[in-house]
Amino acid sequence: MPVDTMIRTTLVLIGLAAASLPAAAAGEVAPEVHNLCLQAADYRGCVEAQAGTPEYLGNKCPKQYAYMGAGNCQQVVCSYTGIGGGDRHNPIIAGKSTWKCGNRINWWSYAGIDKGHLKLGAIAPVQQTDDCPSVEPEIGWNSSCENAKPGWRAAEAEAKRPKCSKRLAPFECDWNAYLEANPGMKAWAEANPGAAEQQRIKLTADPLKN
């Protein structure tokens, strides 16, 4: 295939890949990310990879609020219409958490009863509590507790437990960081590499697996 044809084909494929991104996402691609991913075989995958992992903001919404994503919660409210009015629950929250809207008496309506429908109202930021898993709630739910897996407390405790000696724990179990923070120990390690290596192995070992 001629070189100019290959170049045109490549540019067309890149254009198609970029076009396959959602409109909002494509417009938000930073120039430096675009340039970085321009030659990638998977343009969309490259852009998404550069976005990184979303920041954890909290695991519980205020009472009577449902999680909407991106650290935002929305109040769950009831809207009432006459029987047969054709209104529906908001699908984002319908059938989730403990959200319910009952009926209420309305002597002025034809049927004498108004039917309640779940709707979304005011916005509030997500909150943090130690009583629920440290992950954001699922969309439409109040907290991560509602979909927590059995044994989540033990799993989180194990994940957060330092896998090294208490001496290295403040340095995230990094032997070199420990030495940099302790010049005297660093000088000793440089003068005694063999003994220092044995000490490194001892301090970086998981105390619960020895």
Mode of pairing for the β-strands spanning 72-82 and 104-105: unpaired
Q: In this structure, what token pair is assigned to residue 2? A: 């001629």
pLDDT at 114: 80
Residue 194 has pLDDT above 80, yes or no: yes
Q: Any residues with CB less than 8 A from the CB of 194 and at least 6 apart, and which?
A: none
Which helix or strand (DSSP H or E) is residue 48 part of?
helix 43-51
Pick the residue with more confidence: 15 or 93? 93
Pick the residue with more confidence: 60 or 41? 60
Burial 91-116 (b: 16+ CB within 10 A, else e): ebbeebbebebeeeebeebeeeebbb
Number of other residues whose CB lies within 10 A of the CB of residue 41? 10
Query: Which residue ranges make up each domain of the chain?
Result: 3-51, 65-145, 169-204
Q: What average pLDDT score do residues 74-94 get?
A: 85
Would you place residue 40 in the very low, low, confident or very high pLDDT band (cuts 50, 70, 90)?
Answer: low
Q: Residue written as tokens 């009952």?
A: 102
pLDDT at 139: 96
Give the closest residue to 20 by CA, choosing from 41, 40, 44: 44
Angle made by CA atoms 169, 173, 174, in degrees to the nearest 5: 130
**pLDDT digits 0-9 by tens, 94-118:** 999 999 998 777 666 665 678 889 9
Which helix or strand (DSSP H or E) is residue 23 part of?
helix 23-27
Pick the residue with more confidence: 116 or 141? 141
* pTM recorded for the entire structure: 0.60
Q: In this structure, what token pair is assigned to residue 210? A: 């020895």
Would you place residue 87 in the very low, low, confident or very high pLDDT band (cuts 50, 70, 90)?
Answer: confident
